[in-house]
Each structure stands twice: as structure tokens, then as C-alpha cells.
Amino acid sequence: MAGRITEIIKNKGSFSYSFEVTPVIKENELEKLDLEPLFFSVTWHAQDHKCKDFEIAPLKLAKYLREKNKNVLLHISCCNMKKDYLDYLLVLLKDIGVYNLFIILGENFDSRHSEFRRSQDMITYIRQETGNFFCIGVAGFPDREGSILQLKEKINCGVDFILTQAFFDCNVLKRFSIHCDEAGIHVPIIPGIFPFETDKELEDFVKLCKVHMTGNITQKLARQSGIEVVTKLINEIIQQQKINHIHFFTLNKIERTTNLIRNILSTK
């Protein structure tokens, strides 16, 4: 049964989780998954599909997951987005039972090819056209100074939850939560975690997502594996921040992510 993310993450015990996957993931990878994420986040990649029709990869994956009765959080980018396309897209999502949207500006955004100059514009438009039908999330950037005011503006447009970019220090999340509270932002904050194994994977992810890497992460990796560092970070989030739901940026490495989750569950 599909539901709104703000509802399905409530009261799920001491630890629950969700997966971000990209549209190139193979169906057999999902078929053999023996854990049950609360939802799957599906990335958009507008520079690839150009919003040319409704047979694009992210929508195919979203349909497949809904056919399997999985909750879906669909990314939607302002990049290459016209109002006519968005109107039909929202109707399609209602029809297939996708109730959760993650609104982003998009990489290499060019306002000449979009009718939405900011995420706030798209959020406002969706609320005007569909009311509170969709549960809308946006990204939070715990390591970026000065991002709170812009985040507050998005919240005021009708955002229901925040999903953070990856971070590698629990204190970063703590400071971000405090700053949000001080700014009057009181929607749920879902921590996003990247389960890496090697230094090279971490470096590549940091470059790809433009994430700030705290200085002591290198020192930790000299003594522990990447998975050990991530496991400790998750346990600190649960114990210190009292946040029980973790979102994993899997990069389609499902087996690695599930092994990490099993290790955490074994200690609960």
C-alpha cells in the first residue's frame, strides 16, 4: 500500500531505511533483494532523457516498483521541465500511485529550456495544481554555510520533509538540525548516507556530489574500513540525534548496502 513518506517513516522502531537507486539498475538486482526498504528514491537525470516523452527510464523504474507494491520517491528536476509536461506527469504519477516527489533544480540547469527557474517555483506550482496530494521533499546541505535561508524559503512553499546530502560526521547533522530549528524549520529531516568501502569511492562520490569531507575522515580511514566508519556514523545518528530512519545513496550497490544494514540490525 503506497503512502506518504512523512507517515511511513513514523514509529518504525529503532532503525528503518530507504534506498536511492538510479534508473539503470537491473530488475534482477531488485528481485533478489531480501530486505524491505520503506521506500525507493528514483533519480531523474533530465540531461539524459530531456523530458522527451513518458517512456523515460525513471518513470519505467517507478512503474515497475509500484507494480511490486513498493513506495516510491521520484526525483523531479527543474532542468528541461515545461509546465505542459509537468501537468501530464503529475496525472500519470497519481494514476500509478506515486505520492512522493523530491524536487531539485538539476545539474547544468539552463533557464532557456525550463519554465521553472527555481525549485521554489516548481513546488509552488505543484501545490497550486494538486493541493496537498503529493508529499514533497527537498535536499538539505548540512555542510554548506548560508543554505538555511534558501531552505526555509522552500519549506514555506509547501515542503513536507528534508533529505540531506551525504555527510560523514554526526556533529555536522547536529549543527544542521539546530540551525533548522532556529530558522523555524520543523519538518522531518532524513539523513542521507553513502556506504563507501574504499578511499577512491569516497573521493569519487565527493567530486560527483560536491560534498564537503571533514578533515578527520582521512584519519578514521587509516584505522578502519569505509563500512566500519559508516556503521559507526549511523549508530551515532540513532543514539545521539534520536533519528531512526536512514536513507542510503546506494549507487546501485545493493548487496553492499544490504550487508551493512544486516550488520546494524544484528546489534539492535
**Nearest by Cα to 63 from 37, 98, 88:** 98
In this prediction, residue 127 carries a pLDDT of 98
Within 10 Å of residue 54's Cβ, how many Cβ atoms?
12
d(CA 22, CA 44): 8
Cα separation, 188 vs 214, in Å, equals 24
For residue 218, the model assigns a pLDDT of: 65
Please write the tens of the pLDDT for every residue from 35-87. Answer: 999 999 999 999 999 999 999 999 999 999 999 999 999 999 999 999 999 99
Instruction: Kindly give the parts of the chain with pLDDT less than 50.
Output: 1
- Going from N- to C-terminal start, the domains of the chain cover 5-265
Asked if residue 158 lies in contact with residue 124, where contact means CB atoms within 8 angstroms, the answer is: yes
- Tell me, what's the pLDDT at 268? 66
Q: pTM value?
A: 0.94
Between the CA of residue 108 and those of 77, 79, 83, 158, 199, what are the distances in Å? 11, 8, 19, 25, 27
Pick the CATH number of 5-265 from 1.20.1280.290, 3.20.20.220, 3.40.720.10, 3.10.129.10: 3.20.20.220
Kindly report the length of the chain.
268
